[in-house]
Structure 1
Amino acid sequence: MQVLQHSEHTLKKALISKNPVLMSQYEKLDAGERRLMNEAFQPSSDLFEPITVHSKSDWITSHPEDPQDFEQFFTDHNRKAPCPEKHIIYMQSIGSLGNTRVISEEYIKWLKGYCEAFFYGLTVKFLEPVSVSATKCSFRVNEHTQNLQIHAGVGIFSFARYGKDFYSSRYEGKVKKAQRTSSSDYSIFDNYYNPEVTSILLRRSCKTLTHEIGHIFGLRHCQWLACLMQGSNHLEESDRRPLHLCPICLRKLQCAIGFSIVERYKALLRWIDDESNDTSGAAPKNSSDQVNLKKPVEAFKDWREWIIKCIAVLEK
């Protein structure tokens, strides 16, 4: 295992910049926000840790990329930022999650609530779910594993690999009979296996959801500290990646959206603690209003404690 330990000078420059304008902007941040972000280059910090590389198959080793500091993010003219006319994140559910429609709709509500807390200040709306066949996307049956796979395009991500035993011979979603599938025959998706909804699945889904939307806002893969925006090549590496943004990526997202950091953390804390989510606009129009499943947040316990520590630093 290799630890990527950047110097205090390097991290400070990546966060604050040496550009007088950006330095001035940093100094105008709330004192608590600066105190939290300064944890990035405190060797004794227990909030933000260096990146650990476990093998050559890890993303940062196998995909060499130029690091993106705050100044590079700020001066990128191609990055997207919300505005009063465009402040809604629209999501389109393809297929179902869980083994019933009710579970699928509840899962969508949980993801909506999490996304609105993570990208605090923006509105998230889910469009009516569509079937895989309606997308006309290409797909295949993996010749080695017999797992059904959809070829995802720009702005599309899948939670399919996050179910229990996906990579094992016991996975129940394998196509039972090997066959050559026509690119226009979507009947293979009928009654297809859906993984059990668990706390681990929800945690993994929230990570993928916010990581990919982070890219839409212009955040590239993080190479500074352990961070949600780190790239990942495989499930083990993705699970090691934290749910939080490092201070450098947090400043980028705050710059793009303009939220209060402490209010954002409090919103995330409420999402973890609140079992009865606000369902306004969260689910399709014909969803059932009588069912309210308990949100499985056991896998978020450690992160909840981490958020509380951050709030304490912000409000010191």
Structure 2
Amino acid sequence: MQVIQHPAETLRTALVSSRCDLTDRYHKYSREERRLLEECLCLGDGSLFRPITVHSVSDWIHSHPEEPQDFQSFYSNPYPSKPIKGHSTIYLQIIGRWVHTLSVLYVRWLRDYCQAFYYWLVVKLLPPVTVAATGCAFRVNSSSHNLQIHAGERNQLTTPDAFGIMGITMIDLYPKDSWNFVFGKASLTEGN
């Protein structure tokens, strides 16, 4: 796996903003929050963030090689997904029942993070739904005996003002019948 690194100064220059509201917000952060942001800029140099490497043949990237993407190829994409008027909300949808009481707090943290990262969009939590309400096929895995949701289908969860809907679940996913499981699936072009 190739690890692409950019000098910290290049990243700082790329992320400097002239918007007063953003610089004012930065100055209101606590010392710990500023440390987190600064370590994000010094990739691999600090204690919080280190480059991901392949450790064994059981790692995902070893079994499922993917083309590397650096920032320049991402930025120069001629067909980026951009919000359009009337479709500027990201919805977070909890699917299935969550047993752990901290789960709701974690999802709220995720919402707050998404709201900060996608500051030009609105991020909202939808009420939790059952697996059946998604309209996706599901199965019980013959090996693990766990419920699994088919992640390759377009679900029935739509809202008219959505830029996108992210389903969050603690239930296993599978992309097609021949696969045992998958960690997740995302698409900016296949439905919501």
TM-score category, normalised to shorter length: 0.5 to 0.7
Q: Which structure has the higher relative contact order (CA within 8 Å, separation 6+)?
A: 1
Q: Does 1:11 align with 2:5?
A: yes
1:164-209 per-position Cα deviation (integer Å, ceiling 9, x unaligned): xxxxxxxxxxxxxxxxxxxxxxxxxxxxxxxxxxxxxxxxxxxx8x
Q: Say if 1:80 and 1:216, in contact at 8 Å, map to a contact too.
A: yes
| TM-score for the superposition, normalised by structure 1 | 0.36
Q: Which residue of 1 aligns with 2:35?
A: none
CA shift in 2, pair 1:29/1:88, >3 Å:
same
d(CA) in 2 for partners of 1:56 and 1:151?
A: 26
Q: Say if 1:116 and 1:122, in contact at 8 Å, map to a contact too.
A: yes
CA shift in 2, pair 1:39/1:124, >3 Å:
same
Which residues of 2 match residues 157-176 of structure 1 at below 5 A? 157-160=168-171
SS in 1 for 2:123: strand
Q: Say if 1:96 and 1:104, in contact at 8 Å, map to a contact too.
A: no
d(CA) in 2 for partners of 1:52 and 1:160?
A: 27
Q: State percent identity of aligned pairs.
A: 40
Q: Say if 2:93 and 2:167, in contact at 8 Å, map to a contact too.
A: no
CA shift in 2, pair 1:112/1:37, >3 Å:
closer
d(CA) in 2 for partners of 1:5 and 1:86?
A: 36
Q: How far off its partner does 1:110 sit?
A: 4.5
d(CA) in 1 for partners of 2:170 and 2:91?
A: 18
Q: Which residue of 2 aligns with 1:66?
A: 67
1:103-147 per-position Cα deviation (integer Å, ceiling 9, x unaligned): 876665454334324444532112333322223321111112221
Paired residues, number: 148
SS in 2 for 1:89: strand
Q: Which residue of 2 aligns with 1:94?
A: 95
Q: Read off the aligned partner of 2:5 and give its amino acid letter.
A: L
Q: Which residue of 1 aligns with 2:145?
A: 146
CA shift in 2, pair 1:128/1:38, >3 Å:
closer
Higher helix share: 1
Q: Say if 1:97 and 1:107, in contact at 8 Å, map to a contact too.
A: no
Higher strand share: 2
Flag the structure with larger Rg: 1
SS in 2 for 1:92: strand
Q: How far off its partner does 1:72 sit?
A: 0.9
d(CA) in 1 for partners of 2:77 and 2:132?
A: 37
Q: Which residue of 2 aligns with 1:115?
A: 114
Q: Which residue of 1 aligns with 2:16?
A: 29
d(CA) in 2 for partners of 1:72 and 1:84?
A: 26
Q: Read off the aligned partner of 2:170 and give its amino acid letter.
A: F
SS in 1 for 2:79: coil
Root-mean-square deviation (CA), in Å?
Answer: 4.4
SS in 2 for 1:55: coil
d(CA) in 1 for partners of 2:128 and 2:14?
A: 45
d(CA) in 1 for partners of 2:80 and 2:141?
A: 35
CA shift in 2, pair 1:122/1:55, >3 Å:
same
Q: Say if 1:5 and 1:50, in contact at 8 Å, map to a contact too.
A: no
For structure 2, list consecutive stretches of 5 or more residues without a partner in the other structure: 24-37, 155-165, 173-182
d(CA) in 2 for partners of 1:145 and 1:99?
A: 21
Which residues of 2 match residues 49-64 of structure 1 at below 5 A? 49-64=50-65
SS in 2 for 1:52: coil
Q: How far off its partner does 1:37 sit?
A: 7.0
1:5-37 per-position Cα deviation (integer Å, ceiling 9, x unaligned): 75xxx6349x96xxxxxx9xx5683599xx877
Q: How far off its partner does 1:39 sit?
A: 2.7
d(CA) in 1 for partners of 2:132 and 2:150?
A: 13
SS in 2 for 1:11: coil
